[in-house]
């Protein structure tokens, strides 16, 4: 559709350079919309067409982002939030893996546990919050519990599916070699189910981040979600928007980080693509 790549090739540039130029033009194209919106936003704010209380100018959002950073507030609150995610993710993925592997390996375990598990996963995370609050209060354990529940469901489902899809022949070979159960799990099941497991863990991590924001908005006196509530209460939308940017960036970094790890762990597969 774009005429840029075609005109580039007409110049008969060496292919590498042409490739760079195409990538550059795509990057510029992608930036066009956000830059235009930012300019419009700045214009609206400067002309005061919309009250700055409702729409603070982007420069002010940037200022409050820089201030959060330089005052150390960002680091301390983000540290607290990430620690919560880490604990919740560790607990939830451990429980999810255990459940998923057990249900995947044994149809009997599945028959006993799957309906209960489904019922638990049917109620979304926020639905569990009041129950958890009544049981454990609104302290740290609430956050860890909520995040763990959000992580457990996708991890268990993907672990179970991954193991279910391991070809029966693999198990037969393992039986032929008289592998013990532990050795079968470690040498046959886990490697074969790894892509699905990794997928579940990624979903779990992104769920964890979402659940963290949800629970910190409700009940917290520190953390990245609390910064938002604080900004909202003082009607400082620049602070709210700055926190949204941070939440987006951290979410992206978490997801990409896990993806990198996944690629690193899966390099042994000799797949065609």
Residues making contact with other proteins (CB under 8 A): 1-2, 26, 29-30, 32-34, 37, 54, 108, 111-116, 119, 122-124, 126-131, 133-135, 209-210, 212-214, 217-218, 225, 228-229, 231-232, 235, 237, 240-241, 243-245, 247-249, 251-252
CB of 25 to other proteins, least distance (A): 9
Query: Least separation, in Å, of the C-beta of 199 and other proteins?
Result: 16
| Nearest distance from C-beta of residue 212 to other proteins, angstroms | 8
Reported residue count of the chain is 273
SS3 38: helix
Q: Which is closer to other proteins, CB of 43 or CB of 252?
A: 252
Q: How far is the CB of 168 from other proteins (least distance, A)?
A: 18
Task: For residues 209 and 224, give the distance between their C-alpha atoms in angstroms, rounded to a whole number.
Answer: 11
In angstroms and rounded to an integer, the radius of gyration of the C-alpha atoms of the chain is: 24
Tokens 């039986």 sit at which residue? 175
Closer residue to other proteins (CB): 78 or 212: 212
Q: In this complex, which beta carbon is closest to other proteins, that of residue 218 or of residue 258? A: 218
Q: Which is nearer to other proteins, 189 or 215 (CB)?
A: 215
Strand ranges (DSSP E) for 26-172? none
Tell me the closest approach of the beta carbon of residue 32 to other proteins, in angstroms. 6
Report angle CA 90, 147, 186 to the nearest 5 degrees: 30
CB of 230 to other proteins, least distance (A): 10
Q: Structure tokens of 146? A: 């909520």
44 contacts 55 by C-beta, under 8 angstroms: yes
CB nearer to other proteins: pick between 186 and 248: 248
* Cβ closest to other proteins, residue 25 vs residue 194: 25
Q: Which is nearer to other proteins, 55 or 188 (CB)?
A: 55
Instruction: Report in angstroms how near the CB of residue 260 gets to other proteins at its nearest.
Output: 16
Dihedrals phi, psi of 235, to nearest 5 degrees: 60, 35
- 3-class DSSP state of 221: coil
Backbone angles phi and psi of 168, in degrees to 5: -60, -35
Cβ–Cβ under 8 Å, residues 198 and 257:
no
Exposure on the CB side of residue 168, measured as CA atoms within 13 A: 0
Distance separating alpha carbons of residues 226 and 80, to the nearest angstrom? 11
> What span, in angstroms and rounded, lies between the C-alpha atoms of 177 and 273?
32
């Amino acid at each position: 559709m774009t005429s840029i790549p075609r005109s580039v090739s007409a110049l008969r540039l060496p292919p590498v350079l042409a490739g760079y130029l195409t990538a550059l033009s795509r990057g510029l194209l992608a930036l066009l919309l956000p830059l235009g919106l930012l300019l419009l936003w700045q214009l609206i704010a400067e002309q005061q067409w919309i009250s700055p209380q409702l729409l603070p100018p982007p420069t002010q959002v940037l200022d409050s982002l820089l201030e959060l950073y330089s005052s150390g507030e960002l680091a301390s609150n983000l540290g607290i939030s990430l620690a919560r995610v880490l604990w919740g993710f560790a607990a939830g993925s451990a429980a999810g893996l255990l459940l998923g592997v057990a249900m995947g390996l044994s149809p009997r375990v599945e028959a006993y546990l799957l309906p209960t598990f489904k019922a638990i996963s049917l109620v979304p995370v926020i639905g569990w919050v009041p129950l958890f609050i009544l049981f454990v209060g609104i302290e740290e354990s609430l956050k860890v519990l909520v995040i763990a529940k959000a992580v457990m469901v996708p991890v268990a489902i993907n672990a179970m599916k991954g193991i279910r899809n391991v070809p029966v022949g693999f198990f037969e070979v393992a039986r032929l070699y008289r592998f013990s159960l532990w050795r079968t799990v470690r040498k046959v099941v886990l490697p074969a189910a790894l892509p699905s497991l990794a997928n579940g863990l990624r979903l779990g991590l992104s769920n964890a981040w979402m659940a963290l924001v949800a629970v910190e908005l409700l009940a917290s006196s520190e953390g990245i979600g609390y910064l938002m509530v604080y900004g909202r209460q003082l009607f400082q939308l620049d602070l709210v928007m700055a926190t949204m940017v941070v939440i987006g960036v951290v979410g992206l970094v978490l997801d990409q980080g896990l993806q990198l790890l996944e690629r690193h762990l899966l390099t042994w597969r000799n797949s065609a693509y």
